[in-house]
Structure 1
Amino acid sequence: MRRAEIVAAARGWIGTPYRHQASLKGAGCDCLGLVRGVWREVIGPEPEAPPAYTPDWAEALGWETLLEAARRQMAEIAPGAAQAGDVLIFRMGMGVPAKHCAIVSGEGRILHAYWGRAVVETRLTDWWARRVAGAFAFPGWRIKAWRRWCFRRWARRWAAGCCRLG
């Protein structure tokens, strides 16, 4: 999976109207529905069904449902390291759960479903950047690269004689 595939898939959703808890290209989606739809296009079936959630960004419940789900299904990365194809999760106010997400489309740009409008590509302004609560990579190449690195490290150590059995 390449970053360009993720961004191209997400751009295919531009203009899809905002519909709370929906995830159908051209018919309707919310911010999570966009990420779910891109997941289905690029990776395959969704690993879990999302729970019911409210569209209220200022919801005062303390549950970090969105962040917890992202941590279960994606690779968490440093927000400053996010690149095209990665997912940003936003906390819209102090003391409230993170409840908005977007896909990074390029340097300083994001794709997201904007409440009351549609899927749009916008600048990642300072206003948005201050609200980033987490950054995540879709599963795939980062995990494979990590496994390759671990295997190579193990192979070098094994070849040097420090890990041989017997």
Structure 2
Amino acid sequence: MNSGAAFGADRGAMALAEARRWIGTPVKWEQSLKGQGCDCRGLVAGVARALGWEEAGSLEARIAGYARGRIDGAALKAGLDRLFDPVEGGLAQARAGDVVGLRINDNLQHLAIHAGVAGGYPRMVHAFLSEPAQVVEVPMVGYWQRRVAGIWRWREPALSSAAAGDS
């Protein structure tokens, strides 16, 4: 079994690889179907579902009424804190595959998946509402960097005592 740090990095790499498979998926509110439609929450939930991770079945992933301008940023943050490990230090400490929370109109209401650094800029995969209105991978230049509200890392799944070697 990998160490916790290596395992977390493996989960991040897996999440990013799956998120990149969603590139080109049209933006459709409250959906989470690769190639057919998703919003930003649906992208994160769909990545988890494709990888068989428990986050996909959470209340936060299934709740309806998630639409631009109607998102309760405090509730979204509480859900992220419940499902993921918050990363202290902001974007500078983010790793590929981490979930990035972004403010729109000063309210946490958009999610992306950190896609590493290229050309000196962090990158992200996200459901971009404006043209081309699809999942894209883009550099996080000034506009997006100023909107980072938090970073969350996928948690290791709880190991059963048998899997951990306790018999």
TM-score over 0.5 (shorter chain):
yes
Pick from 110, 121, 128 the counterpart of residue 124 of structure 2.
110
Aligned to 2:143: 127
Give the secondary structure class of the aligned counterpart of 2:17.
helix
Alignment of 1:12-161 (within 5 A): 12-45=21-54, 46-50=56-60, 51-57=63-69, 59=70, 63-78=73-88, 79=90, 80-94=92-106, 97-107=107-117, 108-116=122-130, 117-140=133-156
- Relative to the length of structure 2, the TM-score reads 0.75
Q: Deviations over 1:21-56 (max 9, x none)?
A: 100101100001000011112242424233223422
Q: Which runs of 5+ in 1 are unaligned?
A: 145-166
Q: Deviations over 1:96-116 (max 9, x none)?
A: x31001000111100000115
Higher strand share: 2
- Relative to the length of structure 1, the TM-score reads 0.75
In the alignment, is the contact (CA less than 8 A) between 1:47 and 1:73 conserved in 2? no
Q: Which has the larger radius of gyration?
A: 1
In the alignment, is the contact (CA less than 8 A) between 2:74 and 2:108 conserved in 1? yes
Q: Which runs of 5+ in 2 are unaligned?
A: 1-6, 160-167
